[in-house]
Amino acid sequence: MASQTPRQTPSEALTPEQRAEVDAVRAESHQTRRASVAAMEELLYEPLPVLDHGFVRVIDYMGDDAAIVQAARVSYGRGTTATRTDAGLINYLMRNAHTSPFEMCEIKLHVKLPIFVARQWVRHRTASLNEYSARYSVLDTEFYVPAPAQLAVQATENRQGRGESLSGERAERVLALLRTDAERSFEHYHEMLGDQPTPDGPTDGSDDAGPGLARELARINLPLSTYTQWYWKTDLHNLFHFLALRGDAHAQWEIQEYAKVILDIVEAWVPMAHHAFVSYRAGGAHLSAEGLAVAKRLIAGEKVDPATLAMSPREWRELKATLGIE
């Protein structure tokens, strides 16, 4: 499904107060001997919209392409001899899974995302994470509603994927249910917090506020579409692992949208490493021993009967898709 949920503009992603905070911090500058990347300096603190209410912001970063080369060569300087030589080394490291030099680069992101996306994201445990606390603070009344183009039936061959798109009255009904249920949950959330009157409260005006329930309890009925926020810090090697899985066409569409934005950030940050990743991981393929043997037979002009192979029907379909054969 290529259609996207309409995204906000950067100015729509923040309240006026938040926009003022971002503008103030972006107006600051600091002298440093550390390596910096001009394209990343332009991105710092600016919200890059994702989905209907989400965003990704670069808060800080360490290292650049030269830092990867420096670590690989264990150089006293930055390790750069020539751009072509450095690119070749980075390609070699990526191609042969020499991952530790990529771990010398780190990035810290501020991400606003629906809770159901966050629960997929947090499966990547090789990162430091600090999430917004709904025990301490009141959640904003913001929830994700998919664009009509993203509404689809359950896939028949993929138990965790989508099939054909819904349309017409079926799609309208689903959107109405998603929006109405979320709005009702937030209405009750604020009622339990005491932020608004209860429907059956006193009529004399003495005290018509809600019960004032603790925030940690009032939140429990909110839907998975609710937006949360966190700071997420990881190194480049583990970020590439995240992007390889969550940017893949088989990942849930919503988390793919976040992966696309982060991959653009990586391209601005470490263009040589980004090129190596796209060439050898995201754009490459891993074959099993039997898959490689089958590929060699096909190249030699042999006809392969899948019934004679040890691989499952799904593996055979995946191999054909990888090799681009019918």
pLDDT the model gives residue 14: 87
pLDDT digits (tens, 9 = 90+) for 139-177: 999 999 999 999 988 888 777 778 888 888 999 999 999
Question: Does residue 15 sit in the same domain as residue 136?
Answer: yes
Single residue among 224, 247, 276 that ends a domain in this structure: 224
Residue 238 CA, chain-centre distance (Å), reads: 13
Q: Say which CATH number the domain at 132 has.
A: 3.30.1360.170
How much is the average pLDDT of 187-202? 79
Mean pLDDT of 168-193: 95
Number of domains comprising the chain: 3
CA distances in angstroms from 98 to 69, 70, 93, 102, listed in the order given: 12, 14, 5, 8
The reply to whether 188 and 278 lie within a common domain is: no
Summarised one tens digit per residue, pLDDT across range 75-96 is 777 655 666 789 999 999 999 9
Residue 108's pLDDT band (cuts 50, 70, 90): very high
- Residue 326: what pLDDT? 76
- Residues 184, 307: one domain? no
- The whole-number pLDDT of residue 50 equals 96
Residue 31, burial from CB neighbour count under 10 angstroms (0-12, 13-18, 19+): exposed
Check residue 224 and give its pLDDT.
97
Residues 231 and 131 in one domain: yes
Q: Quote the pLDDT of residue 2.
A: 42
Residues 113 and 190 in one domain: no
Contact 304, 72 (CB under 8 A): no
Whether 111 and 199 map to the same domain: the answer is no
Could you tell me if 268 and 135 lie in one domain?
Answer: yes
Whether residue 298 sits in one domain with residue 259: no
- Same domain for 9 and 135, yes or no, is yes
Max CA separation in the chain (angstroms)? 89
- Domain enclosing residue 35, as ranges: 1-144+225-284
Residue 195, φ and ψ in degrees, nearest 5:
-80, -15
Q: Which of 195, 224, 253 is the last residue in one of the domains?
A: 224
Residues 230, 309 within the same domain: no
CA atoms within 13 A on the CB side of 68: 29
Which of 7, 57, 219, 246 does the annotation list as catalytic?
246
The confidence band for 21, taking pLDDT boundaries of 50, 70 and 90, is very high
Are both 121 and 11 inside the same structural domain? Answer: yes
The whole-number pLDDT of residue 275 equals: 97
Tokens representing 13? 């992603």
241-300, pLDDT tens digit by residue? Answer: 999 999 999 899 999 999 999 999 999 999 999 999 999 999 888 899 999 999 999 999
Choosing from 224, 241, 258, the residue where a domain stops is 224
| 111 and 83 belong to one structural domain | yes
Q: Are 235 and 102 in contact (CB under 8 A)?
A: yes
246 catalytic? Reply is yes
- Tell me how many degrees the CA angle 281-284-286 measures, rounded to the nearest 5: 90
Say if residue 204's pLDDT is above 60: no
The DSSP symbol for 148 reads: G
